[in-house]
Chain A
Amino acid sequence: MTIQQRYDLAFTLYPYAHSPDQDAPGPRRHKVVVVGGGPIGLAMALDLGRRGVPVLLLDDHEGVGAGSRAICFAKRTLEICDRLGAAGPMLDKGVVWNVGKVFHDDRLLYEFNLLPEDGHAFPAFINLQQPWFEKFLHDAILQAQAAGAPIEIRGRNRVDAVTHDDNGALLDVTTPDGPYQIAADWLIACDGARSPLRSMLGLNFDGRVFEDNFLIADVRMNAPFPTERWFWFEPHFRSGDSALLHKQPDGIWRIDFQLGWNIDRKHELEPANIRRRVDAMLGPDVEYDLVWTSIYTFQCRRMERFCHGRVIFAGDAAHQVSPFGARGANSGIQDVDNLGWKLAAVINGNAPDRLLDSYDAERVQAADENILNSTRSTDFITPKSTVSKLFRNAVLDLAAQLPFARTIVNSGRLSLPCTHDGSALNGPDDPSLPMRSRPGSPCPDAPTPEGWLLNRLSPGFTLLTIDADAPDTTVAHGQTIPRLALTAADNPALASRYLGDAASAVYLIRPDQHVAARWQAHDAPAIATALARALSLEPAGC
């Protein structure tokens, strides 16, 4: 039996090994099976394993695919990876940039500096090749396994069929030694944009197709070149509506050329033709090697629902966006962040199954926000009507001289985490506290004398008190919640992000570091009620 390899590997991480499950008389039952070992499946297995939930990951390859995909990883992704023990090497290897240039045709319109807000452990984002991002997640899995986390990965295990009912799913798996079956209490589909599981279950994936092709060229510069992001609208070197240049680690630059719809792929991929475009972009005297080239297309779409009984979709399998704004992998990692603690709470009997409805609601909300943002960028870059092109070019003309117009220029809005306004898990708010940390928001990081705030939150719920009295632990609904007591004295970042004009504050923080509820002073019954709500212990509608 052979399993066809659809792509070459950058790193072989989990070579096929025969499992005793393959010789069992009937399907062996597993608590959680994750299908797909891309960034999202790896992070999912890592999060669940670190929470002590036994998880089996199946991938049809033996490691990380080579080739160029994601390179921009946002602050929230790094914060989540930090919680998962994987962010250090990402930050060490990743490239940080702050200066960007925007061109129209052959004209430099303006330069900008991102001037990131200080008082955060992580930069606004880093550039890092996706294979390295995945490798660092896998390294963290090896470390977690060594520390006892119940995570197993099986390479060259391809899922070919699935059935499911109220108790779980049954999978047909093909391996180099032939087929076998696995039963799962919970199945998490992280099998990518073409999700075979989604097709096997006959679920639809609707959205908008963009009739466009993009050519990626990763080039190694043979001389120093600035660490800046360059974006062209309607570049003078013939490249459709846009082109983009930015830096990756190891002296590699990513170049993206928008080619348009009706193209001759083979012709465009000829090295001589790629070089002609790159030469025109970089100027005649820049020496470089072509490291990787490919052509891709994209769509903006999502599943109607991410939860189907005991089969749950995450990452590209559940939603797909245009690459403008780098929201693909970044949003998938937030899916993991949202799902991990909820599934663990359900499996451990601390919350009812309906807690998972909030995964569906919150991450559908996030997917819609991401699709909206990336669709707006795409429409700005490639205007869809004469009048929208007129306005787009008016914005660019003004942007060369007037700073206000630069705020409208949209070559991709940086991926920011979704604030789950209106979530059923949100408890009471005190509106005199700052907007940015209202219930549903991801906690903004801040320095504290003992290290970064996010680093000091517990893996479960945390009660954060700022200049407020409270007991050291709160026990309610089967949870023992530690208190993190801080003072805002001499800490302006903490004060502005969590206190505003108030003198004190108490925050109930979810395991995924989103704010559940907040008050100006400690109130034990109110905290217990908010906790019940955050765990969906109250019947829906109450």
Chain B
Amino acid sequence: MLTTTPNLTRPDDSYAALIAAHDGLTEAESHALNARLILILMNEVGDHATIAEAIRTARETTGSAA
């Protein structure tokens, strides 16, 4: 089951860390970092059904780029 209710212990710190990780990177390097990060988090989740639901949720969320 995908958790969509608040679950981050320190949301502002985690978000800031994510943005800071991209400091000084080229766009290509940033993309590569994101890809590695997704894979690492995917392994952390582990369960295929949850990952599939997360992918579906991301895909179905319409954003400014849509």
- Pair A391/B35 contact, Cβ less than 8 Å: yes
Q: Is B43 an interface residue (CB 8 A)?
A: yes
A395 at interface by CB-CB < 8 Å: yes
The B interface, classified by DSSP as helix, strand, loop or mixed, is helix
**0/1 per residue, A357-398, Cβ < 8 Å to B?**
000000000000000000000000000000000110111011
Quick check: A398 and B40 within 8 Å, CB to CB? yes
A405 to B31, CA, bound (A): 18
**B32 in contact with A397 (CB, 8 Å):** yes
Chain A CB within 10 Å — which of B31, B32, B39 has the most?
B39
- A contact residues around B35 at 8 Å (CB): 390-391, 393-394
- Report how far A408 CA is from B36 CA in the complex, Å: 12
CB-CB under 8 A from A398, the residues of chain B are 36, 39-40
Chain A residue at smallest Cβ distance from B32: A394
- A residues 385-427 near B (Cβ < 8 Å) are 390-391, 393-395, 397-398, 402, 404-405, 408
Query: How does the 8 Å CB contact mask read for B9-45 relative to A, with 1 for contact and 0 for none?
Result: 0000000000000000000000110011011100100
Contact with B32, one of A393, A402, A405 (Cβ below 8 angstroms): A393
A390, B32: Cβ atoms closer than 8 Å: yes
In the complex, are the beta carbons of B43 and A404 less than 8 A apart?
A: yes
Q: How many residues of B contact A (CB 8 A)?
A: 8
Q: How many residues of A contact B (CB 8 A)?
A: 11
Quote the shortest CB–CB distance from A107 to chain B (angstroms).
16
B31 CB contacts on chain A under 8 angstroms: 390
In whole angstroms, how far apart are the Cα atoms of A408 and B35 in the complex?
13
Q: Once the chains are docked, how many angstroms separate the CA of A391 from the CA of B35?
A: 6
The closest CB in chain A to the CB of B28 belongs to A390
- Of all chain A residues, which has the CB nearest B31? A390
Are A397 and B43 in touch, CB under 8 angstroms? no
Residues of A within 8 Å of B32, CB to CB, are 390, 393-394, 397
**Closest residue of A by beta carbon distance from B46:** A404
CB closest chain-A residue, reference B43 = A404
In the assembled complex, the Cα of A402 lies from the Cα of B31 at a distance in Å of 19
Residue on B with the closest CB to A389? B35
- Smallest CB gap from A390: residue in B: B35
Q: How long is the Cα–Cα vector from A534 to B63 in the complex, in angstroms?
A: 53
A455-473 residues with Cβ-Cβ distance < 8 A to B are: none
A395: B residues at CB distance < 8 A = 39
Q: Which residue of B lies closest to A397 (CB)?
A: B36
Q: How far is the CA of A395 from the CA of B43 in the complex (A)?
A: 12
A387 vs chain B, min Cβ distance (A): 8
Tell me how far the C-beta of B43 lies from the nearest C-beta in chain A, rounded to whole angstroms: 4
A414 to B40, CA, bound (A): 25
Residues of B within 8 A of A404 (CB): 43
Give Cα A404–Cα B31 distance, bound, in whole angstroms: 21
Question: Would A394 and B36 count as touching, CB distance under 8 A?
Answer: yes
- Name which residue of chain B comes closest to A404, CB basis: B43
Task: Identify 7 residue pairs between A and B in the complex whose beta-carbon atoms are under 8 Å apart, listed by A's number.
Answer: A390-B31, A394-B32, A394-B38, A397-B36, A398-B39, A398-B40, A404-B43
* Residues of B that sit less than 8 Å from A by CB: 31-32, 35-36, 38-40, 43
**For the complex of A and B, 10 pairs with smallest distance between CB atoms:** A394-B35, A404-B43, A394-B36, A391-B35, A390-B35, A390-B31, A398-B36, A394-B39, A394-B32, A398-B39
